Amino acid sequence: MWNESFTFDINLGTEPLFLEVMDKDTFGQDDSEGVCFVSLNDPRLIEQQKADMWFDLQNKENKNEI
């Protein structure tokens, strides 16, 4: 759980929003924790209201199967 908040301005959208969660490494390269797609047709997003939403992350190597 990261307890992060994000705000997006979306006028029109038909493609899903692709999100990738990365860790932050002090040394070396940051690593992908997983990916997910968010449908912009979700009623909670269309109403342009604040919405707490949870998403399951998928393994980045399997993103073509999502």
Q: What is the sign, positive or negative, of the torsion defined by CA atoms of 57, 59, 61, 64?
A: negative
Mean pLDDT of each 10-residue bin along the chain, 66 residues long: 71 80 87 88 73 83 56
Residue 34 has a pLDDT of 93
- Specify the pTM: 0.63
Residue 66 has a pLDDT of 46
Long-range interactions of 50-58: CB distance < 8 A, separation 24+: 55/19, 57/21, 57/33, 58/34
Give the residue extent of every domain in the chain.
1-51
* Helices and strands, number each (H, E), in the chain: 1, 2
